[in-house]
Amino acid sequence: MSTDRGTVRVKRGLAEMLKGGVIMDVVTAEQAKIAEDSGACAVMALERVPADIRRDGGVARMSDPALVTAIMDAVSIPVMAKCRIGHFAEAQVLESLGVDYVDESEVLTPADEANHVDKWAFTVPFVCGATNLGEALRRVGEGACMIRSKGEAGTGNVVEAVRHLRSITGGIKRIERLDAGELMSEAKQLGAPYELVCELHETGALPVPLFCAGGIATPADAALVMQLGAQACFVGSGIFKSGDPAKRARAIVEATTHFDNPEVVAKVSRGLGEPMVGITDVAPADRLADRGW
């Protein structure tokens, strides 16, 4: 009887368990505990939330392993951490620490201008961002077990996440309608693996869960993206850059569960205090969503 770790089923399985939940960015063990106590289904351990990375500039790298392990020790829920795009050595370090998911993230400064990490080489599962279906399928082809929209991290503006979700789900609907004979040309257009395009044509869904990230700041934002087809939400700066993080965290958790029930979303949206200050004028050179290939 063979016992196997790190199989596709085991890796995608954890993503299935996170569905309907909220994954929150935290920068300290105290924040991690607040997130867990507010109902987060996982936390992302970071040195700086995207809003601060954006403000500070410079090269953004993997977090200090001491911080990541302190957060792992503080909570019982899964802990994720980010490596730079293509930086497989950072990913190896995070795997050795025992993090539960690695986010190969455009929020950090890319380490490779052509290649993403070969995620099949790892036991730890990976999540990757995508702005459209071709990008999503390329990441799945490299071994990603969860896809999230990129959105535009650290802006508190959900418009980019909506664009990316609509692009991905619209692409899926389009492939469902094609004839089998059109799939190779579609794969060429998308720059996506042919076999995955064929699989999608059969099943009508991505082979891995699709989550939303980038700009979610309110319970209604969470309800919006869940109705647009996201299966869970990442909330970065939106919680701990707001006036009352614990209350807002609880509200976003409830809105994600009851996303199709406006009465619940209305109830939890009352009196949350100040949301994070949003920004709308991101210069093209500062756009994080354009990182990744």
Partner 1 sequence: MNGPTVGVVALQGAFALHIDALTDCGTAARAVRLPADLAGCDAVVLPGGESTTMGKLLDTSGLRDPLRERLAAGMPAFGTCAGLILCVTEVLDPVPNDASPFGVVDAVARRNAYGRQVESFETDLAIDAIGPEPFRAVFIRAPVMESVGPGVDVLGWQNDHAVLARQGPVLVGSFHPELTGDRRIHQYFVDLVKESM
Residue 113 vs 263, nearer CB to partner 1: 263
Q: Is 204 in the site for partner 1 (CB under 8 A)?
A: no
| Cα(269)–Cα(285) distance, integer angstroms | 34
Residue 90 vs 152, nearer CB to partner 1: 90
The answer to whether the beta carbons of residues 273 and 247 sit under 8 Å apart is: yes
Q: Is 150 a catalytic residue?
A: no
Cα torsion angle, 157, 241, 290, 103, sign:
negative
- Choices 30-38, 50-58, 111-119, 152-160 (CB under 8 A): range interacting with partner 1: 30-38
CB < 8 Å & 24+ apart, contacts of 167-170: 167/131, 167/132, 167/133, 168/130, 168/132, 168/133, 168/136, 168/206, 168/210, 168/229, 169/210, 169/228, 169/229
Q: Is 10 in the site for partner 1 (CB under 8 A)?
A: yes
Q: Is 103 in the site for partner 1 (CB under 8 A)?
A: no
Applying the rule CB under 8 A, the residues between 253 and 272 that interact with partner 1 are 253-254, 257-258, 261
Q: Cβ 111 to partner 1, closest distance in Å?
A: 23
| Cα(38)–Cα(278) distance, integer angstroms | 23
Q: Cβ 10 to partner 1, closest distance in Å?
A: 5
- Choices 2-10, 135-143, 159-167, 188-196 (CB under 8 A): range interacting with partner 1: 2-10
- Choices 18-26, 173-181, 194-202, 278-286 (CB under 8 A): range interacting with partner 1: 18-26
Q: Which of 283, 292, 286 is nearest to 111 (CA)?
A: 292
Residue 71 vs 192, nearer CB to partner 1: 71
Q: Is 65 in the site for partner 1 (CB under 8 A)?
A: no
| Cα(41)–Cα(61) distance, integer angstroms | 25
The answer to whether the beta carbons of residues 206 and 147 sit under 8 Å apart is: yes
Torsion of CA 75, 78, 83, 87, to 10 degrees: 130
Q: How far is CA 96 from CA 21, 145, 250, 268, in A?
A: 26, 19, 32, 39
Q: Cβ 69 to partner 1, closest distance in Å?
A: 11
Catalytic one among 11, 19, 82, 241?
82
DSSP run (H or E) holding 152: none
Q: Is 202 in the site for partner 1 (CB under 8 A)?
A: no
Residue 16 vs 290, nearer CB to partner 1: 16
Cβ–Cβ contacts within 10 Å for residue 57, how many?
9
Residue 145 vs 168, nearer CB to partner 1: 145
Applying the rule CB under 8 A, the residues between 120 and 179 that interact with partner 1 are 123-125
Contact residues for partner 1, defined by CB under 8 A = 1-7, 9-10, 13-14, 16-21, 36-42, 72, 76-78, 95, 98-101, 123-125, 250, 253-254, 257-258, 261
